[in-house]
Amino acid sequence: MTIENTIAEHIQNAVSELYQSGIGIDSIVIQETRKEFEGQITVVTFPFTKFSKKTPEQTGAEIGEYLKLHIREVTAFNVIKGFLNLSISDTYWIDQLLNTILDQGFGRFPGNGKKVMVEYSSPNTNKPLHLGHVRNNLLGYSVAEILSANGYEVIKVNLVNDRGIHICKSMLAWALFGNGETPESSGLKGDHLVGKYYVIFDQEYKKQIADLVQKGQTEENAKKNAPVIMQAQEMLLKWEAADPEVIALWSMMNSWVYAGFEQTYTQLGVDFAKYYYESDTYLLGKDIIEEGLAKGVFFKKEDGSVWIDLTEDGLDQKLVLRADGTSVYITQDLGTAQLKYDDFKVDQSIYVVGNEQDYHFKVLFLILQKLGKSWAKGLYHLSYGMVDLPSGKMKSREGTVVDADELMDDMIQTAKERTEELGKVDEFSEHEKDELYNMIGLGALKFFLLKVEPKKRLLFDPNESIDFQGHTGPFIQYTHARIRSVLAKADYKAKISLDHSLELTVLERELIVNLSKYPVVISAAAKEYSPAHIANYVFELAKLFNKFYHEESILKAEDSSVKNFRLDLAAATAATINKGMALLGIRVPSRM
RNA sequence: GCGCCCAUAGCUCAGCUGGAUAGAGCAACGGUUUUCUAAACCGUAGGUCUUAGGUUCGAAUCCUAAUGGGCGUACCA
């Protein structure tokens, strides 16, 4: 039972006793008191005035009096412009800190018996991961962690797009121009090597188009008739026919890519319980088509193609199976959705996919609902905005991308330079240093990407390096290191406070109030699938602690009970920072 | 054409289901270190919350429209 709940209940009683009226719990607005006023919890009195028939000030005073009388923790109140500010006793806040916040499991909810699947990353195997994928991976990983903290059993999966014409493009270019180059022979990471041939394909393709246009073909025809594209298409047909040579090439190049991805994932700190491969799933979904035809959800046109009419739902007619009986994107997604459900019987399934596919998922989910799939209501598209460069959209085939591996290396290198300038960890071993640079560099990157609401598009300027000061990951990591340093000096091991009757300073109280909000933030982040809430909360907390740290001494506190209490407060702050950052996939150092 | 999303300080972003005088960080300027880590802290300056209507005791927040930007509307994935 939180203090807010207690207050809300008593307000209901107050309204019924004082004004002989019933008030719904929903119309009671309780919020944090703004800093400039006395108190910690504020009740908005306007909704009560229609029962009291008095001014907001009078009403607030009456209810304030009632609350003060009936709730032990409410020690004082004031009413300003219709806002009833309540002061809660220091004993309450100290008890909160010592009995709740310092608890190991604080902010971790007990299991709710629900299973949720989070699909994220979903790379193509024809090129390395870029900044856009990084946002996807971090979001997916973080949302999975957040749901887990909220009591869900979480299954992280990756649907790898390992077939199709784009894969054949890199394969063909390698076959034509590769001269047998391998990751070993070139020293290139496998995914980068394959990506290189994807770019080469595109260059060659453009050359051939230009050539044909010069020979008098229209641009449109040239695009269809360029030899390389025809060869790539032929290769795709052979792949589908399981031509041994093509399959061998495909397997070899894919294995290079997977080795490369594995490194990137490890470096990023993300993982998956299961991989799905499109080469296994691309034929799925045809029985769903049959099912839909039987149920009359789909209809067949004369040419044999199968459609669904969604015009009544404000959408269009949508093709679900080609006339020649082959699958389209949505066909296999229908099949894969069924497969994923059959595999795990999850209550919810989240797709972390960019907002360019909003329409696709709207259609997909709607179709599954129309087919009467009971699990369709648990499907959710976590749509996030694209990462753009100042020059516009990133394009792999034109090579205008911010490569994930390079970016991470850059960040770590910058962390190293910055740390060396400060010269605080000179006596660290080489290994410890590397660990630290890694933590800081990636912390900066991850925080940068996660602090923004997923929905919003993100602008990334490669020329303007990501900050290490202010509203950043390293700022928070630094705060944590600072606290750990103090705790180490005091040889702090576990909760030591004994005195629950201290008088708190303004900043101490503010810190505890802030810490006690953590579980609310965690559940809000889950509800909205938004790590940004946590990022901004932890930043707020770190900022507040730094202010406290600067103004009030911990180790040199006026007496030992205050010192012990402040050590507990600092420890609770460090622990909460650590937990919050862990949900973002960011590690925090104990020294930096 | 139609549909979806976005618009807050010079820049990057917060602002919970409507609630008090719209907040941070960066950049700029000024200050703080014989005292627990200055990747910090304090201060100055910076806003018609894109615009116009509407709902309300109360709107950055909800509704309508306009403007600007992004995306989609493929027998690509």
Place A1 in a pLDDT band, splitting at 50, 70 and 90: low
The percent of residues in chain A predicted with pLDDT above 70, rounded, is: 99
Distance A468 CA to B29 C1' (A): 22
**Closest nucleotide to A441 by C1' from CA:** B39
Q: Report the Cα A204 to chain-centroid distance in Å.
A: 38
Distance A255 CA to B69 C1' (A): 41
Q: What are phi and psi of A77, to 5 degrees?
A: -155, 160
- Between CA A139 and CA A149, with CA A144 as vertex, the angle to 5 degrees is 125
- Between CA A109 and CA A188, with CA A157 as vertex, the angle to 5 degrees is 125
Tens digits of per-residue pLDDT, A92-114? Answer: 999 999 999 999 899 999 999 99
Q: Which structural domains are found in chain A, ordered by start?
A: 3-88 (3.30.1360.70), 164-271 (no CATH), 404-583 (1.10.730.10)
- Spell out the residues 6+ positions from residue A150 whose beta carbon is closer than 8 angstroms to its own: A109, A112, A522, A523, A526
**Closest nucleotide to A458 by C1' from CA:** B12
- Spell out the residues 6+ positions from residue A48 whose beta carbon is closer than 8 angstroms to its own: A11, A15, A19, A23, A59, A63
Q: Residue at minimal CA–C1' distance from B25?
A: A471
Distance A29 CA to B17 C1' (A): 10
Distance A293 CA to B70 C1' (A): 37
d(CA A407, CA A462): 9
Distance A85 CA to B17 C1' (A): 21
Higher pLDDT, A465 or A289: A289
Q: Residue at minimal CA–C1' distance from B6?
A: A456
Secondary structure letter of residue A2 according to DSSP: -
Tens digits of per-residue pLDDT, A70-81? Answer: 999 999 999 998
**Closest nucleotide to A388 by C1' from CA:** B70
Distance A342 CA to B36 C1' (A): 57
- Mean pLDDT for the stretch of residues A179-204: 95
Q: Residue A524: is it exposed, middle or buried by C-beta count within 10 angstroms (0-12/13-18/19+)?
A: middle
Distance A402 CA to B70 C1' (A): 20
Tokens of A61: 């005073």
**Closest nucleotide to A122 by C1' from CA:** B77
**Closest nucleotide to A33 by C1' from CA:** B20
**Closest nucleotide to A357 by C1' from CA:** B72
Distance A477 CA to B45 C1' (A): 30
Tens digits of per-residue pLDDT, A416-440? Answer: 999 999 989 988 999 999 999 999 9
Coil, helix or strand for A270? coil
- Spell out the residues 6+ positions from residue A531 whose beta carbon is closer than 8 angstroms to its own: A138, A139, A142, A143, A146, A450, A454, A525, A583, A584
Higher pLDDT, A26 or A95: A95
Distance A82 CA to B59 C1' (A): 18
Give the model's pLDDT for residue A391: 73
The amino acid at residue A363 is V
d(CA A39, CA A36): 9
- Between CA A470 and CA A476, with CA A474 as vertex, the angle to 5 degrees is 75
Tokens of A418: 């910055």
| CB-contacted nucleotides of strand B (7 Å) | 3-7, 12-17, 19-21, 24-27, 35-42, 57-58, 70-77
Distance A449 CA to B25 C1' (A): 15
Exposed e or buried b per residue across A55-91, where buried means at least 16 C-beta atoms within 10 angstroms of its C-beta: ebbebbbbbbebbbeebebbeebbbbebbbbbbbbbe
Give the model's pLDDT for residue A365: 95
- Spell out the residues 6+ positions from residue A478 whose beta carbon is closer than 8 angstroms to its own: A592
d(CA A320, CA A327): 7
Pairing label, strands A306-309, A317-321: antiparallel
Q: What is the ipTM of this complex?
A: 0.95
Distance A448 CA to B12 C1' (A): 10
Tens digits of per-residue pLDDT, A279-291? Answer: 998 888 888 999 9
Q: What are phi and psi of A350, to 5 degrees?
A: -110, 130
Q: Residue at minimal CA–C1' distance from B69?
A: A457
- Mean pLDDT for the stretch of residues A395-407: 83
Residue A269's Cβ-side half-sphere holds a number of Cα atoms within 13 Å equal to 21
Distance A149 CA to B59 C1' (A): 35
**Closest nucleotide to A322 by C1' from CA:** B75
Give the model's pLDDT for residue A392: 72
Which stretches of A346-439 are assigned E, i.e. beta strand? 348-354, 379-384, 387-388
Tens digits of per-residue pLDDT, A138-162? Answer: 999 999 999 999 999 999 999 999 9
Q: Residue at minimal CA–C1' distance from B38?
A: A422
**Closest nucleotide to A554 by C1' from CA:** B36
Distance A392 CA to B66 C1' (A): 27
- Run of H or E residues at A565: helix A560-583
d(CA A99, CA A251): 57
Give the model's pLDDT for residue A535: 97
Residue A460's Cβ-side half-sphere holds a number of Cα atoms within 13 Å equal to 27
Mean pLDDT of chain A: 93
Tens digits of per-residue pLDDT, A550-574? Answer: 999 999 998 899 999 999 999 999 9
- Mean pLDDT for the stretch of residues A471-482: 97
**Closest nucleotide to A482 by C1' from CA:** B37
Q: Report the Cα A185 to chain-centroid distance in Å.
A: 38
Coil, helix or strand for A322? coil
Give the model's pLDDT for residue A8: 92
Distance A467 CA to B29 C1' (A): 21
Q: Residue at minimal CA–C1' distance from B71?
A: A356
Q: Residue at minimal CA–C1' distance from B40?
A: A546
**Closest nucleotide to A332 by C1' from CA:** B77
**Closest nucleotide to A356 by C1' from CA:** B71
Q: What are phi and psi of A586, to 5 degrees?
A: -110, 125
- Spell out the residues 6+ positions from residue A295 whose beta carbon is closer than 8 angstroms to its own: A371, A372
What residues does A380 pair with on adjacent strands?
Answer: A350
